[in-house]
Structure formats: C-alpha cells, structure tokens
C-alpha cells in the first residue's frame, strides 16, 4: 500500500497511477452532492440547462455535512453510502466526472463507466465525519440551497485521507 499526495487538479492525469488500496491525501476542490442534488443535476443535463459546476475533471463527495461549528469551515462531514447515487453516476462520469468519494461498493454499470472514462472511486472512513471536517478548510453553498445539508457545496480540502476503492481499471477493494 502506497501513500500518495495529490491535488484534485491532478486526478485526471494521474488516475492511472492509482491502484486499489493506495492511500490518497487529497487537496483541492471537491463538490458535495447526494441523491436529491444528483437528481437535479441529471435533470439539468437532460434539459440542456447550466450545471452548478463543471463536471470535467471534477471530484464529488457523497456527503451531507452538519451545521458549521464555531472556528470551523464546516460541521461533521462523513461519507454517505455511494450506492444510492449509482443510478446517476454513469451519466455524470460520461460527462467528465473523474472522481467519486463515498463509502460502500458500486454496481457494475458504475464500474464500467469508470473504466470507460478513466475515473476513480475513493472511500472515506465512515463514522469519522467529525475528524474529516478538520481537513476541510473552506465551504460554500453553490446550488440547491433549499436542500439544506444536501445542497451542493464547493469544499476546499487539505490532505483529506482516502483509500482507492475502485481504480480506473475496474479493480475493486470490495471483491
């Protein structure tokens, strides 16, 4: 197992370097999105409407952070079960999404789309959202504010600890 430091800007160009089990300390911009936001994003894509952020080369974190605590950029920010986004993920991957962050296995259509698009799936430690928030240095709601904790947020992360769960060749830690 290797430990690799990288930025979100490097994800597209360095995805092929990553293998299942590698530890990644990720820094840069990550967008939060869960079920309700994914549904709206896909509806906007289908309608040809502008998206909340450019999917090309983007990283999405399946999380619904709690209220911000004093002195912090964000409240507790642990991963959500990724399988709930599997119905939307292939379309987003085909549109340029390069990295998904969450917890739990993904279905075969998501893995096929990852391989097709040279994308990766990273897992964050479930149950440790209070610790994960310490790696988040900035948070801004950018879309769907009416969804509350499930609104789309632009996070700035610094050395966010993750594990490669499915690499861009389709190898999976879950198999």
Domain that holds residue 114: 3-166
- Catalytic position from the list 38, 40, 103, 106: 38
Q: What is the reported pLDDT for 134?
A: 86
CA distances from 31 to 2, 63, 92, 112, 174 (A): 25, 9, 13, 23, 24
Residues 6+ apart with CB under 8 A from 2: 19, 22, 23
Q: What is the reported pLDDT for 74?
A: 87
Task: Extract the residue ranges of the chain whose pLDDT is less than 50.
Answer: none
In a domain? residue 98: yes
The number of domains in the chain is 1
Q: What is the reported pLDDT for 71?
A: 84
Residues 6+ apart with CB under 8 A from 98: 11, 12, 15, 57, 58, 59, 117, 118, 119, 120
Q: What is the reported pLDDT for 9?
A: 97
Q: What is the reported pLDDT for 51?
A: 97
Task: Indicate if 38 belongs to the active site.
Answer: yes
In a domain? residue 150: yes
In a domain? residue 22: yes
In a domain? residue 64: yes
In a domain? residue 173: no
**What CATH number is attached to the domain comprising 158?**
3.20.130.10
Q: What is the reported pLDDT for 165?
A: 98
């Amino acid at each position: 197992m290797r430990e690799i430091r990288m930025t979100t800007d490097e994800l597209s160009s360095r995805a092929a370097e990553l293998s299942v089990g590698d530890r990644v300390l990720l820094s840069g911009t990550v967008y939060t999105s869960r079920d309700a936001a994914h549904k709206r994003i896909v509806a906007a894509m289908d309608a040809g409407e502008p998206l909340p952020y450019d999917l090309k080369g983007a990283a999405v974190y399946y999380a619904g952070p709690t209220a911000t605590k004093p002195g912090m950029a964000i409240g507790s920010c642990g991963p959500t079960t990724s399988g709930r986004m599997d119905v939307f993920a292939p379309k987003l991957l085909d549109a340029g999404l390069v990295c998904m962050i969450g917890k739990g296995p993904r279905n075969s259509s998501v893995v096929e789309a990852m391989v097709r698009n040279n994308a990766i799936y990273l897992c964050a430690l479930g149950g440790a959202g209070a610790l994960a928030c310490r790696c988040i240095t900035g948070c801004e709601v950018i879309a769907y504010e009416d969804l509350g904790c499930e609104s789309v947020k632009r996070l700035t992360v610094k050395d966010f600890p993750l594990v490669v769960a499915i690499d861009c060749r389709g190898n999976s830690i879950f198999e």
